């Protein structure tokens, strides 16, 4: 007599085994649907006037404030590393700041000098400029203030049109307005076209939330909103993350209608739902910005040995690609290019 076998724990569909396709690295690589390449990444860079400056940014390990000369050296390294684009931020000395942010219009400022240096050197890199006023205003807001106080929307966008034309004249290929003003894209398009730059593209920070994840950036750019201005945060112009994602689609649609060539969602990882919704709906490519606070968190955890930095960063980048990012602005850009080589 044979004992009756125990009932099988497997269902009738036991021949369906998803693990089959995970069995080897070759098979896993064959089936990867998101892939990373150095040309997926844009490296943000902080520049200030001076010479031979390379000041580490405490809350962003591995990131620096450069002067135009050291920035050029760094840009050469980015190009040699296989990157194809950089994003410039100006850091302004206090004596050049005023309530209107007029140093933004000075052709001798750090952004203009760095753009010219990169152009003269013929670097094979796309030059993207962050277009805003917070780095230039004494109160740290993204444009001049009204008596209310709030940022004067229509004056700011008119100014942005002028500043965009200056960046284009100095060699910017793409203008990336981050001021979160209504109709900024239309004003910039008008400003660029009037100045003879119909081919300079606009990458709009169309979907930009008022986020605590920008904290380290404000150290890096020395541009926090000043409490003494009567307006201690950017919540009257940057988006409220508690709103329905439909607001993100509306902001994206308005910017596309005004002529944005490219859109951006910012921050990144906490907003993957928004990135997915916008990139699915938008008729133009949608980028994502992994912001300073996201970078700082990864760096801090890695420095403590709590996470594997490379594996965690790569996983994050794949998440952005899966959610539809056309490209990624990240302080890890140079490191990623090296990891991927």
Q: Is 266 a catalytic residue?
A: yes
Helices and strands, number each (H, E), in the chain: 11, 10
- Least distance to ligand PBG, CB of residue 218, Å: 6
Q: Round to the nearest angstrom and report the end-to-end CA distance of the chain.
A: 65
Q: How far apart are CA 163 and CA 5, in angstroms?
A: 80
Over the window 180 to 209, marking each residue x when it contacts ligand PBG by CB under 6 A and - when it does not, the resulting string is ------------------------------
- Least distance to ligand PBG, CB of residue 50, Å: 21
- Least distance to ligand PBG, CB of residue 19, Å: 40
3-class DSSP assignment, residue 44: strand
3-class DSSP assignment, residue 315: helix
Residue from 134, 160, 231, 264 that binds ligand PBG (CB under 6 A)?
Answer: 134
Residue from 84, 190, 279, 292 that binds ligand PBG (CB under 6 A)?
Answer: 292
Q: How far apart are CA 24 and CA 20, in angstroms?
A: 9
Give residue for tokens 């004596």. 95
Nearer to ligand PBG, 56 or 196 (CB): 56
Note whether 142 binds ligand PBG by CB under 6 A: yes
Q: Tell me which H or E stretch contains 204.
A: strand 201-208
Bridge-based pairing state of the strands 64-66 and 174-177: unpaired
Annotated catalytic residue: which of 51, 97, 119, 208?
208
Note whether 271 binds ligand PBG by CB under 6 A: no
Nearer to ligand PBG, 78 or 203 (CB): 203
Q: Is 119 a catalytic residue?
A: no
Closest C-alpha among 88, 42, 34, 31 to residue 337: 42
- Least distance to ligand PBG, CB of residue 38, Å: 20
What Rg do the C-alpha atoms of the chain give, in angstroms? 23
Note whether 217 binds ligand PBG by CB under 6 A: yes
Q: Which parts of this chain interact with ligand PBG (CB under 6 A)?
A: 130, 132, 134, 142, 178, 214, 217-218, 234, 291-292
């Amino acid at each position: 007599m044979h004992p009756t076998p125990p009932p099988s724990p497997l269902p009738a569909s036991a021949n369906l085994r998803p693990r089959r396709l995970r069995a080897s690295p070759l098979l896993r690589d064959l089936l990867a649907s998101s892939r990373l390449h150095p040309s997926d990444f844009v490296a943000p860079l902080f520049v200030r006037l001076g010479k031979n400056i390379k000041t580490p940014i405490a809350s962003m390990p591995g990131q620096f404030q450069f002067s135009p000369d050291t920035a050029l050296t760094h840009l050469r390294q980015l190009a040699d590393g296989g990157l194809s684009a950089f994003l410039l931020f100006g850091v302004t000395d206090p004596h050049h700041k005023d309530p209107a942010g007029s140093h933004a219009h000075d052709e001798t400022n750090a952004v203009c000098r760095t753009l010219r240096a990169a152009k003269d050197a013929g670097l094979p890199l796309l030059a993207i400029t962050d277009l805003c006023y917070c780095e230039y205003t004494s109160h740290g807001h993204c444009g001049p203030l009204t008596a209310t106080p709030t940022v004067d929307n229509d004056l700011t966008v008119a100014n942005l049109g002028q500043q965009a034309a200056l960046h284009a004249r100095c060699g910017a290929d793409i203008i990336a307005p981050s001021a979160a003003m209504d109709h900024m894209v239309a004003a910039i398009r008008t400003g660029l076209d009037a100045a003879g730059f119909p081919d300079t593209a606009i990458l709009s920070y169309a979907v930009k939330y008022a986020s605590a994840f920008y904290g380290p950036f404000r150290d890096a750019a020395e541009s926090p909103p000043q409490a003494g201005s009567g307006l201690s945060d950017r919540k009257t112009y940057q988006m409220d993350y508690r709103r329905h994602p439909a607001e993100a689609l509306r902001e994206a649609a308005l910017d596309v209608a005004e002529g944005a060539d490219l859109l951006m969602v910012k921050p990144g990882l906490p907003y993957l739902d928004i990135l997915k919704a916008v990139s699915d709906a938008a008729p133009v490519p949608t980028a994502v910005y992994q912001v300073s606070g996201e970078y700082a968190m990864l760096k801090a955890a890695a420095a403590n040995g709590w996470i594997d930095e490379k594996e965690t960063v790569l996983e994050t980048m794949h998440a952005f690609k899966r959610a539809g990012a056309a490209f990624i602005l990240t302080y890890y850009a140079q490191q990623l290019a090296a990891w991927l080589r």
